[in-house]
Amino acid sequence: AVAATMRSVMRAVRVFEFGGPEVLKLQSDVLVPVPKENQVLIKVHACGVNPVETYIRSGAYARKPTLPYTPGSDVAGVVESVGEHVTAFKKGDRVFTLETLSGGYAEYAVAAASRVFPLSEQLDFRQGAAIGVPYFTAYRALFQKGCAKAGESVLVHGASGGVGIAACQIARACGLKVLGTAGTEEGMNMILRNGAHQAFNHRDPNYIERIKACTGPGGVDIIIEMLSNVNLDTDLQLLACAGRVMVVGCRGRVEINPRDTMSKESSIIGVSLFRATEEERHECATALLDGIEAGWLKPVVGLEYPLEKVAKAHEDIICSSGARGKMVLLL
């Protein structure tokens, strides 16, 4: 059976050179990977699309994969086979991943067993593909790096995207006061349904004043920032004493006045899931699986694309007028 698997082929997206969305090539003759020791082979039903995958594809990211490669880390599907020493999973199990070894934009993907988690019957595969990077990143930003505590306030900038909705749901479940921004009426309604106490339209020229009126002179304790190159300067002025900005996303340089951090002894903290230790990943996974069981962790799926439209997905995730949930590829 293993020999047959080794010879069988699948459809997968391959990148042979760094560049624009057009470098994403769908091929139908890619060998199905074989799981080695402590690895799981998953038949992929859905794969999440994350902004970071567009930065990696363009060649502008700090971590560059060896070419050619298949992008994608958050898959949900069914276990096809397992390598030696894997006891937690068996063929037929519904699972989702935090990352893959072979790339998720494909019909089959191999992942380390430690990065694979059971997918609750309460969630479909599209939702399963929306958990990995967004929820682990949001949890890390709030608690492992942001030291959030019940009773504090959090402002989630760009709250209607994958990480944003995750941050709203987690923060609300853990007793924080949650404010969120979005770029459309639909996005604002979505974040109010997903844990935000109040929503602001970041296209409104007076939205910063509205946030200040809402938080009062005290300011906000934590800001989860998806677009720090646009918002960081203003973020520093919105913070409370000892407040912290968690930099989750950035698309360029920004000018700030460091004096703004001195007067409030505030902090700017970078967040990278890639830097998480095994213990930290385990902590995230435990909290999130508990959230699924408790019913408050409910991924919101936004735009869906077939694998053939992967280049369009990469364009839209950067250029769309306003995020509404997690973008996924369906297989």
Q: pLDDT per position in the chain (331 positions), as tens?
A: 454 445 699 999 999 999 999 999 999 999 999 999 999 999 999 999 998 999 999 998 888 999 999 999 999 999 999 999 999 999 999 999 999 999 999 999 999 999 999 999 999 999 999 999 999 999 999 999 999 999 999 999 999 999 999 999 999 999 999 999 999 999 999 999 999 999 999 999 999 999 999 999 999 999 999 999 999 999 999 999 999 999 999 889 999 999 999 999 999 999 999 999 999 999 999 999 999 999 999 999 999 999 999 999 999 998 876 778 999 999 9
Inter-axis angle of helices 132-139 and 278-294, to 10 degrees? 110
Q: Counting Cβ atoms within 10 Å, is residue 167 exposed (0-12), middle (13-18) or buried (19+)? A: buried
3-state secondary structure of 304: strand
Which residue carries 């519904």 as its tokens? 94
**Domain edges within the chain:** 9-130+299-330, 134-274
Q: Check residue 5 and give its pLDDT.
A: 46
Sign of CA dihedral 28, 30, 31, 35: negative
Which residue carries 């869906």 as its tokens? 304
Sheet order of strands, 198-201 included: 198-201, 177-182, 153-157, 220-225, 239-247, 267-270
Q: Check residue 7 and give its pLDDT.
A: 64
DSSP lists the bridge partners of residue 154 as 178, 222
Inter-axis angle of helices 132-139 and 162-173, to 10 degrees? 50
| Strand bridging mode 153-157 / 94-97 | unpaired
**How far is Cα 80 from Cα 100, in angstroms, rounded to an integer?**
15
Q: Nearest Cα to 72, choosing from 248, 291, 305?
A: 305
- 176, two tokens: 């924080």
Note whether 81 and 129 are within 8 A (CB).
no
**How far is Cα 7 from Cα 135, in angstroms, rounded to an integer?**
36
Q: Which CATH class is domain 134-274?
A: alpha beta
- 252, two tokens: 């360029």
DSSP string covering 197-260, please? SEEEETTSTTHHHHHHHHH-TT-EEEEEES-HHHHHHHHHHHEEEEEEEEE---SS-----THH
- The backbone torsions φ and ψ at residue 99, rounded to the nearest 5 degrees and listed phi first, read -155, 165
**How far is Cα 44 from Cα 279, in angstroms, rounded to an integer?**
27
Q: Check residue 324 and give its pLDDT.
A: 85
Q: Check residue 320 and give its pLDDT.
A: 75
Note whether 269 and 247 are within 8 A (CB).
yes
The answer to whether domain 9-130+299-330 and domain 134-274 are alike in fold is no
Whether domain 9-130+299-330 has CATH 3.90.180.10: the reply is yes
Q: Check residue 244 and give its pLDDT.
A: 98
Q: Check residue 1 and give its pLDDT.
A: 46
Question: Which of 240-258 are b and which e, b meaning 16 or more Cβ less than 10 Å from the residue's Cβ?
Answer: beebbbbbbbbeeeeebee
User: Pseudo-torsion of CA 162, 130, 249, 142, nearest 10°?
Assistant: 80
Which residue carries 């009062």 as its tokens? 216
Q: Check residue 222 and give its pLDDT.
A: 98
How many Å is the maximal CA-CA distance in the chain? 67
Q: Nearest Cα to 159, choosing from 130, 185, 179?
A: 179
